[in-house]
Amino acid sequence: MTGQKPYFLTTAIDYVNNLPHIGTAYEKICADVLARFKRLEGGPVFFLMGNDEHSVNVKKEALARGLHPQAYCDRMAIQFREIWTKLGISCDCFIRTTDDCHAKAVTALFREIHRKGDIYLSRYSGLYCDSCEAFFREKELVEGKCPLHGTEPRRIEEDNYFFALSRYADRIEEHIRKGRILVLPEIRRNEILNIIRGGLEDISISRSSFDWGIPLPIEPNHVVYVWFDALINYISAAGYGWDQDRFNRTWPADLHIVGKDITRFHCIIWPAMLMSAGLEIPRLVFGHGFVYLKGEKMSKTLGNVVSPMELMNLFGPDALRYYLLRDTSFGKDGNFTYENFQERYNRDLANDLGNLLQRLVTMVHRYRQGILPPPHEETEADESLRKSCLGLYPAVRDFLNPLRGDIDFHLALTRIWDTIRLANQYIDHLAPWELFKQGDQDRLNTVIYYAAECLRMLGVVLSPFLPHTASALLRQLGEQEGPENLCLEALTQWGRLPAGSRVSTPIPLFPRIVESEGKPSASAPPTRSEDEPAAIEKTVSFEMFQSLELRAGRILDAERVPKTQKLLKLTVDTGQLRTLVAGIGKSYEPEDLKGRDVVVVTNLEPVRIRGILSEGMVLAAGSDDRVVLLGYAGPVEPGEKIR
Ligand code: MSP
């Protein structure tokens, strides 16, 4: 960490009684966008995440598997980190509440609060929900059950240490009202103020009937209550209790990002604990909305969990990031539906962004041998594209600035997509293929250069949102990956792409998803192409026919695609190995296909079918229920061209 105070950004630390789901992933993705955007702007950032390991449910899960809780937490930590890495989450520190530094911080803070006289022993009797890890008052229950989990809370009666939260009620209210601790969005701020005005009670912060936790420094037979323990992660990662210099440089947190269900812990209990110990309070708490599965809250306890890992394996991490960021307003609740996911993927990612890059790279190859030409005089159309690109940074910066009262990832992406669509229209209207035919070299050079430079700026501005896509895009434009190309200047200066640089061969960023049974999806592929005739004709020209690449292929392996009768996944040697999904499952058994020679269309645009990338098509006669594969009368070698 450098000498300058970093922008200190945190997410909630997750319970590890289950793996991440779409809801917990959503929070981490949003925080990651902010961290990446801040880094892009050039400031130092400290982005903290972690796991919350000392909970009743974590211990239960461990014991159910015959594991010591520590061994169980170690295993889960590996899996959590693997998922976050795959999702492109760029945290600078991943804290676990079983880390030594955390135990030191908890012990130090506990002692300090105790020294201030804010901790006392008393007998406690209350209703406790294990899933919330929280006490409820009788009146907060719904028909005697936890309002979130629908389960009956347990009555707990034991000697507990208490934290004198009530002493801080007035000061916390004043801090929130005066904006010394900003609570966003507005609806959460009002909720919190209402809770405080309803009266705050002291809270129990130790357990004697439970042994999985950090022992109380003043009474080793008690362990620290999981929430008191968990909140302290934010200062333990910053160095509290083990590295005072680091702590002085890092604290306070600039932004705690947490879900709406736990905002109250962060805006009431946490500031009170810090105030008691004489530490600075966090500057901003954002309580985001929930992602539901068609209206029902996703929860580890309820079990209706969509696995981010599964979706990532099928469609790539950025498709998931894009969908969650674009389809939900951060402060409000959102709904996950597979239909919307697929529609956004095909329309926004495959057709708009993917197609724009594909068109540009193809043009550079077709008209300029893969070398980016220099631009000439700027016309009005060029100017409006350039201005739209230069407007990206200020617009996105504002949408991501919480001091406006909200953080609007979906609006930032909408603004970016305005430029993507404008760039596609720019190509449609200026028709480079016509300029090529007319021999208007200067205009053609300008249009190609402007579209390429626009894509470069799009790559940079997209890098916080879709980091993998941004890298792939910039690489195809011939840009080196490095801080010199991912920085504020790269986002605010037009014309940085050097003329004369070589673009790579086109690789589709987002192969379109087609419906599971092989039918085209609801969103049609873009029909525009720089050299396609405007209308589909009944006959095709010889050139068009020649552009189709047919090769001899040998099936090396075949298996059924789960949950369909019709689809088979084939591994085919066509001179190079490729995977194809073919709708021949009702007529062929996989084991009968191995070693069979087939005719393959090898230059068909790849598509995703049931999450499998299908790179071509085997030719067959007949209809769905009776399909006959085309074959050969004599021997052929895999890869031979068919003429
Ligand atoms: N361990 C506590 C947090 C302690 S922070 C000092 C906890 N863990 S959790 O695993 O249940 O939730 C982690 C985060 O994910 C929380 O901010 C929570 O609000 C958020 N979400 C849990 N389910 C969610 C959705 N369905 N949608 C969006 N966010 C969700 O709470």
pLDDT digits (tens, 9 = 90+) for 8-41: 999 999 999 999 999 999 999 999 999 999 999 9
- Is the pLDDT score of 85 beyond 90? yes
Can you give the pLDDT at residue 348?
A: 98
Task: For residue 93, report the distance from its CA to the centre of ligand 1, in Å.
Answer: 18
The set of residues, in sequence order, having a beta carbon less than 8 Å from that of 342 and lying 6+ positions away, is 513, 521, 522
Q: Are residues 498 and 356 in the same domain?
A: yes
Task: For residue 172, report the distance from its CA to the centre of ligand 1, in Å.
Answer: 23
The mean pLDDT of 349-363, rounded to a whole number, is 96
Task: For residue 252, report the distance from its CA to the centre of ligand 1, in Å.
Answer: 22
Pocket around ligand 1 at a 6 A CB cut-off: 12-15, 23-24, 26-27, 52, 230-231, 233, 258-259, 261-262, 290-291, 297-298
Q: Are residues 364 and 469 in the same domain?
A: yes
- Is the pLDDT score of 292 beyond 80? yes
- Is the pLDDT score of 307 beyond 90? no
Task: For residue 14, report the distance from its CA to the centre of ligand 1, in Å.
Answer: 6
Can you give the pLDDT at residue 563?
A: 80
* Domain-terminating residue out of 514, 529, 560: 514
Percent above pLDDT 90 for the chain:
69
Q: What is the DSSP letter of 53?
A: -
The mean pLDDT of 618-640, rounded to a whole number, is 84
In a domain, 596, yes or no: yes
Can you give the pLDDT at residue 531?
A: 56
- Is the pLDDT score of 520 beyond 50? no
- Is the pLDDT score of 595 beyond 70? yes
Task: For residue 259, report the distance from its CA to the centre of ligand 1, in Å.
Answer: 6
In a domain, 175, yes or no: no
Give yes or no for a cis peptide into 44 (omega within 30° of 0). Answer: no
Can you give the pLDDT at residue 643?
A: 82
In a domain, 10, yes or no: no
Mutate to test the pocket of ligand 1, among 102, 261, 293 (most ligand atoms within 8 A of CB): 261
Q: Are residues 349 and 494 in the same domain?
A: yes
In a domain, 392, yes or no: yes
Both structure tokens of 588? 């062929």
In a domain, 300, yes or no: no
* Domain-terminating residue out of 514, 532, 557: 514
Angle at 278 between CA 275 and CA 283, to 5 degrees: 55
Can you give the pLDDT at residue 245?
A: 96
Can you give the pLDDT at residue 296?
A: 55
In a domain, 16, yes or no: no
- Is the pLDDT score of 99 beyond 90? yes
Q: Which of helix, strand or coil describes residue 478?
A: coil
* Domain-terminating residue out of 494, 514, 534: 514
Task: For residue 258, report the distance from its CA to the centre of ligand 1, in Å.
Answer: 7
Can you give the pLDDT at residue 523?
A: 43
Q: Are residues 379 and 467 in the same domain?
A: yes
| C-alpha span between 444 and 636 (Å, rounded) | 44
Which strands form 119-129's sheet, in the order they lie side by side?
134-136, 119-129, 154-163, 203-204
Q: Are residues 495 and 573 in the same domain?
A: no
Q: What is the identity of the amino acid at 554?
A: R
**Residue 9, H or E segment:** strand 7-11
Assign residue 382 the CATH number of its domain.
Answer: 1.10.730.10
The mean pLDDT of 365-387, rounded to a whole number, is 97
Beta strand 512-514 pairing with 607-609: parallel
Percent above pLDDT 70 for the chain:
93
Q: Are residues 554 and 609 in the same domain?
A: yes
- Is the pLDDT score of 562 beyond 90? no
55-59, 187-191, 385-389, 537-541: the lowest-pLDDT one: 537-541
Q: Are residues 482 and 402 in the same domain?
A: yes
Task: For residue 89, report the distance from its CA to the centre of ligand 1, in Å.
Answer: 16
Q: 170: buried, middle or exposed (CB in 10 Å: 19+, 13-18, 0-12)?
A: exposed
Q: Are residues 365 and 504 in the same domain?
A: yes
Q: What are the E-state strand segments in 186-331?
A: 203-204, 206-207, 215-216, 219-224, 255-259, 284-288, 291-293, 296-297
Q: Which atom of ligand 1 is nearest to the CA of 292?
A: 26
Q: Whose CA is nearest to atom 9 of ligand 1?
A: 14
Task: For residue 12, report the distance from its CA to the centre of ligand 1, in Å.
Answer: 6
In a domain, 445, yes or no: yes
Mean residue pLDDT of the chain comes to 91
- How many independent structural domains does the chain possess? 2
In a domain, 348, yes or no: yes
Q: Are residues 489 and 586 in the same domain?
A: no
The mean pLDDT of 458-465, rounded to a whole number, is 98
Residue 128: pLDDT band with limits 50, 70, 90? confident
Assign residue 611 the CATH number of its domain.
Answer: 2.40.50.140
The set of residues, in sequence order, having a beta carbon less than 8 Å from that of 616 and lying 6+ positions away, is 572, 574, 578, 580, 600, 601, 602, 603, 604, 606
Backbone φ and ψ for 336, nearest 5 degrees, come out as -95, 120
Q: Which atom of ligand 1 is nearest to the CA of 234?
A: 6
The mean pLDDT of 327-341, rounded to a whole number, is 92
Q: What is the DSSP letter of 565?
A: S
The mean pLDDT of 566-570, rounded to a whole number, is 91
More confident residue, 155 or 164: 164
Choose from 152-156, 193-197, 570-574, 614-618 the range with maximum mean pLDDT: 193-197
Q: Whose CA is nearest to atom 18 of ligand 1?
A: 259
Mutate to test the pocket of ligand 1, among 10, 11, 14 (most ligand atoms within 8 A of CB): 14
Q: Are residues 463 and 570 in the same domain?
A: no
Q: Whose CA is nearest to atom 30 of ligand 1?
A: 23
Residue 524: pLDDT band with limits 50, 70, 90? very low
Q: Whose CA is nearest to atom 8 of ligand 1?
A: 14
Can you give the pLDDT at residue 460?
A: 98
Which alpha helices (H) appear in 159-286, and where do they start and end?
A: 169-177, 186-197, 226-231, 233-236, 244-250, 263-264, 270-276
Q: Are residues 403 and 342 in the same domain?
A: yes
Q: Which structural domain, as residue segments, surrounds residue 508?
A: 337-514
Q: Are residues 606 and 477 in the same domain?
A: no
- Is the pLDDT score of 159 beyond 50? yes
- Is the pLDDT score of 414 beyond 50? yes
- Is the pLDDT score of 346 beyond 60? yes
